[in-house]
Amino acid sequence: MEFLKINGGYGEGGGQIVRSAIVLSCITKKPINIENIRKNRKKPGLKPQHLTAISILKKISNAKVIGEEIGSTELKFVPGEIEDLELVEDVGTAGSIPLILQVLIPVVSLSQKKLCLTIRGGTDVLWSPTIDFTKFVLKEAYSRMGINFELDIIKRGYYPKGNGEIKLQVFPSNAKSVAFSKRKTNKVKLFCTFSKISSDIIEKQIDKIKENLEKENFHVERKIINEKAMDSGSSLLVYSIDEDSIIGIDSLFDKKTQRFDLEIEKFLDSLGVDNNLADMLVVPASLAHGKTTFQVKEITKHLETNLFVTSKITGCKYGIGRLSNGFEVIIEGILDSSIK
């Protein structure tokens, strides 16, 4: 059997390569061999959340997998036929649910299948998008690309115990090309949830962020909800959506500094999409008919890596053009006749 070799140490050399590669392997039916997985990290190799994603994809696509263990720096993934499924999964502790959903949603939807999934783990944890980013920002972007899913948050799960729970439904779709150029709206939504933290502290922080946004001439709609969770924690999402842009930035409450580590400048400077969302558009754009374009403030290592891996597997073409205030990314999708 011939494997397409992927260097897991390319670019930023993180888990994004693994996620994108196995997604595209399932959709295109191409066996892949990922080497040097996370080799630039303090603890190289696969982590629990990677294994959970691989394990679920293995069930969905009837795949054969070699190297499916914690710390493994090489993985061989041979996809089979994808099926409609109803699953119940547990990441364990506070492993990131949103990172796993990034893998599952495009695979199932673009393979013209259905998935009903209940999964437990971390909904709002470090080094991962929050579950609210997935529900409000990614869902909007994917819906414009033809990918539809429903997400219900049953219970929040913060570090270290996690124990959050969500229910996901994914529906069959065909990917569509999109264009995101520049934000036109001055309307912003600010959504915050918290558990076992003083409401006064949270509200003070939110008021300060709201005030800073209003100084930049944004009209802010805020919502704060006290939700029960096993561990104390708080999650914040700031986002704006119009016909030409989808921009979100999220943050977790730092219990040591008693504030949100929110990089508000990145929200203010964003063009058509934010940096995190840009990464997530690459895979569906590579399989859509026509050209997808989006403008970003910067080309991150994550985005650069994702473009490289995706083009290697699908054969899509991409280009990056410099603008006066950022960059434009153009992805010409490959509508592969083998994808049914």
So which residues are the catalytic ones? 302
Question: Whats the size of the chain, residue-wise?
Answer: 340
Q: Which of helix, strand or coil describes residue 149? A: strand
Sheet holding 4-7, edge to edge: 4-7, 32-35, 75-78, 64-66
- How many of the other CB atoms lie within 10 Å of CB of 336? 16
Phi and psi, residue 277, nearest 5° = -65, -35
Closest CA to 312 of 21, 16, 26, 9: 21
Structure tokens at 337: 């006749």
Q: Which of helix, strand or coil describes residue 144? A: helix
Task: Encode burial over 190-203: b for 16+ CB neighbours within 10 A, e otherwise.
Answer: bbbbbbebeeeebe
Phi and psi, residue 227, nearest 5° = -120, 135
Structure tokens at 313: 């597997």
Structure tokens at 233: 């924690």
